[in-house]
Amino acid sequence: MQRIALLERFSRNFNGGGGSGIPKALLVVCAVSGGAGFVAYSEAVSNNTPTVADLTETQIKKKRVVVLGTGWAGTSFLKNLNDPSYDVQVISPRNYFAFTPLLPSVTSGTVEPRSIAEPIRNIIRKKKVEIHYSEAECIKIDAQNKKVYCLSNDKTNLKGREEFAVDFDYLVIAVGARPNTFNIPGVEENTLFLKEVEDAQKIRKTVIECFEKADLPNLDDEARKKLLHFVVVGGGPTGVEFAAQLHDFLAEDLSKLYPTIKDFVKITLLEGTDHILNMFDKRITAFAEDKFKRDGINLRTGSMVVNVSDKDISIKDIKSGSISSEPYGMIVWSTGIGTRPVMIDLMKQIGQGNRRVLATDEWLRVEGSDTIYALGDCATINQRKVMEDIADIFKKADKDNSGTLTVKEFQEVLKDICERYPQLELYLKNKQMHSLVDLLKASKGDIKESVEVDIEEFKSALSQVDMLMKNLPATAQVASQQGVYLANCFNRMEECQKNPEGPLRIRGEGRHRFHPFRYRHLGQFAPLGGEQTAAQLPGDWVSIGHSTQWLWYSVYASKQVSWRTRALVVSDWLRRFIFGRDSSSL
């Protein structure tokens, strides 16, 4: 109930007359509140550069939007934001956008690290919107005082980290997630992740170092086997693609350069469930498992990691319960995502402390806050359930307050209800029904003429609908579409304030300002190595093989964020075809 109350409160603020609830002036709050050693942003006044203090004079009406993160969601938001009435501040520890679907290719040196990175300053430089970028990490979000606290990077030998605070009118959180270790002991210390470009570089270096060490003159076979045992934990798309890339790298390139030790190499892929790629069609899973077996990849499904020491990985067979230990050279951990500490702290502030992931509504607004948006891997959309709102839906549809609904009444609100509750549309589609009316008919039995149902009949007709609700996957595609969506909302904020375009409010008056976010799945690839790729395209169309690999090449080339990275990635692929992959320990 509390959640509904909160939601209603800020829905009202936002959509109704709520626009006026947002303070328009006083962009820079000079007081240092909750300081904890932080230097106020207002101290940045300098003589030569235009600062926020100057800007307040000339651009008093600009709303300050702070964007956290330069990944898929943040960059896509920035690229699509066109309304020059915002003053945008981007904060991210990474001064570039990385085309993460090519990270597995970076681990084998097929693609160069810099080829998939586009400096964020290159992207924002071309915009007409005023966008500033600061290379720093947000370490605390103060939702109450609309302030974020940041700490600059300390990657190189420049001494000390700078601290600063930034005020916002709107906050767009797109900080992504961290790898999920499930608190398994030793994972953090002894395994490598595959989330950042630096991770991919480190994996590549470690593979080469394992080979170089295994080729030293004074080792026995056991030591060589240990060093050349590569373990991949997680049979999702990333883990599978990495295992495939690693296999190709070893088979096509390293085996030629290290002929005397190539027979000691073993790749083990661990997956907790019974099958790898279990979010894909069964045909793809079967093909991948077959191919990996043919390639000699040691596929162990139904296996759970229970401990990782600096020498061994302990694996529990879920069926038998037996635990075995194996020495390893390198472990890559790719088992899904967890919540960043800064987000956990925010969730506590806004009454989401008992959730695992930050929840937003269908408009990507953080539940419990009226000025904070979150998108990408750092949040999930909390789609409202039909059954929770069933009384309100009935009431809204029953215009004449008769206690029963007629077909005509239905049809008037049908479109709005389907937009507000997409699971309903999906349900009808799955059952091959053309409208809600068919559903009601079905629930009442085969009554041909005008249908009229009461609330109980209505409930029973819709009782199964919410079972079709699914969280969106944590993919680049979702994050990117959310960025586009939110930028369009920001671009038309004032326009839609006057002429709301969204569906009817079920638990309130009038209409929602915007259409809710709707994800369009464009398909997903699973590269399996050896120039073979599987793809699951919209409409459950499955395509596997060499031709799909070429589709993969063309889609990934076309999706590059700039002509520069496109040219680089394509030339990297060419280079790999001609010269193979590089094995220098750089």
Which residues 90-129 are close enough to bind its own copies by CB under 8 A?
A: 94-96, 109, 112-114, 117-119, 121-122, 125
Question: What backbone torsions phi and psi does residue 541 show, to the nearest 5 degrees?
Answer: -80, 130
Question: What backbone torsions phi and psi does residue 10 show, to the nearest 5 degrees?
Answer: -85, -15
Q: Is 413 helix (H, G, I), strand (E, B) or coil?
A: helix
Closest CA to 208 of 174, 148, 257, 274: 257
**371, 22 contact by CB (below 8 A):** yes
Residue 496 CB, shortest distance to its own copies, in Å, is 32
Examine residue 585 and tell whether it contacts its own copies (CB under 8 A). yes
Residue 212 or 290 having the CB closest to its own copies = 212
Closest CA to 266 of 333, 190, 331: 331
Residue 61 or 132 having the CB closest to its own copies = 132
Member of 162, 317, 345, 457 binding its own copies (CB under 8 A): 162
- Interface mask toward its own copies for 192-231; x: CB under 8 A: x----xx---x--xx-xxx-xx-xxxxxxx--x--x----
Residue 106 or 506 having the CB closest to its own copies = 106
Q: What is the largest CA-CA distance in the chain?
A: 89
Residue 135 CB, shortest distance to its own copies, in Å, is 4
Between strands 541-545 and 330-333, the pairing is unpaired
Which residues inside 497-556 make contact with its own copies, applying CB under 8 A? none
- Interface mask toward its own copies for 37-76; x: CB under 8 A: --xxx-xx-xxxxxxx------------------------
Closest CA to 530 of 169, 268, 178, 246: 246
Angle at alpha carbon of residue 537, lines to 96 and 431, rounded to 5°:
125
Residue 410 CB, shortest distance to its own copies, in Å, is 55
| DSSP bridge pairs for 532 | 529
| DSSP bridge pairs for 303 | 317
Residue 213 CB, shortest distance to its own copies, in Å, is 6
Examine residue 30 and tell whether it contacts its own copies (CB under 8 A). no
Residue 254 or 489 having the CB closest to its own copies = 254
Residue 255 or 298 having the CB closest to its own copies = 255
Residue 528 CB, shortest distance to its own copies, in Å, is 26
Residue 510 CB, shortest distance to its own copies, in Å, is 40
Angle at alpha carbon of residue 385, lines to 379 and 391, rounded to 5°:
145
Rounded CA gap, 276 and 558, in Å?
A: 28
Reading the block at residue 247, the tokens are 């296999």
Residue 586 CB, shortest distance to its own copies, in Å, is 5
Which residues inside 249-278 make contact with its own copies, applying CB under 8 A? 256-258, 260-261, 263
41 alpha-carbon distance from chain centroid: 30
Residue 549 or 583 having the CB closest to its own copies = 583
Member of 155, 448, 470, 498 binding its own copies (CB under 8 A): 155
Choose one: 149-157, 283-291, 384-392, 497-505; the region binding its own copies (CB under 8 A).
Answer: 149-157
**63, 170 contact by CB (below 8 A):** yes
Residue 492 or 564 having the CB closest to its own copies = 564
Rounded CA gap, 180 and 103, in Å?
A: 18
Which residues inside 399-418 make contact with its own copies, applying CB under 8 A? none
Residue 105 or 548 having the CB closest to its own copies = 105
Residue 311 or 399 having the CB closest to its own copies = 311
Residue 203 or 453 having the CB closest to its own copies = 203
Member of 133, 292, 410, 421 binding its own copies (CB under 8 A): 133
Member of 83, 87, 135, 367 binding its own copies (CB under 8 A): 135
Residue 156 CB, shortest distance to its own copies, in Å, is 5
Question: What backbone torsions phi and psi does residue 33 show, to the nearest 5 degrees?
Answer: -105, 145
Rounded CA gap, 475 and 155, in Å?
A: 27
Residue 90 or 270 having the CB closest to its own copies = 90
Residue 222 CB, shortest distance to its own copies, in Å, is 10
How many chain residues interact with its own copies (CB under 8 A)?
A: 85
**377, 474 contact by CB (below 8 A):** yes
**352, 368 contact by CB (below 8 A):** yes
Beta strands in 191-346 (DSSP E): 229-233, 266-270, 298-300, 303-308, 312-317, 323-327, 330-333, 337-338
Which residues inside 316-355 make contact with its own copies, applying CB under 8 A? 329-330
Residue 57 CB, shortest distance to its own copies, in Å, is 17
Rounded CA gap, 484 and 75, in Å?
A: 9
Question: What backbone torsions phi and psi does residue 305 show, to the nearest 5 degrees?
Answer: -80, 130
SS3 annotation, 376-402: HHHEEECCCCCCCCHHHHHHHHCCCCC
Examine residue 158 and tell whether it contacts its own copies (CB under 8 A). yes
Q: Residue 42 class from Cβ within 10 Å (0-12 exposed, 13-18 middle, 19+ buried)?
A: middle
Residue 216 CB, shortest distance to its own copies, in Å, is 5
* Residues 6+ away with beta carbon under 8 Å from 311: 226, 327, 328
Residue 221 or 392 having the CB closest to its own copies = 221
Place of tokens 């096509």: 252
- Interface mask toward its own copies for 481-500; x: CB under 8 A: --------------------
Residue 199 or 367 having the CB closest to its own copies = 199
Which residues inside 555-584 make contact with its own copies, applying CB under 8 A? 563-564, 567-568, 571, 575, 578-579, 582-584
Rounded CA gap, 431 and 412, in Å?
A: 22
Residue 328 CB, shortest distance to its own copies, in Å, is 11
Residue 142 CB, shortest distance to its own copies, in Å, is 17
**436, 417 contact by CB (below 8 A):** yes
Which residues inside 173-192 make contact with its own copies, applying CB under 8 A? 190, 192
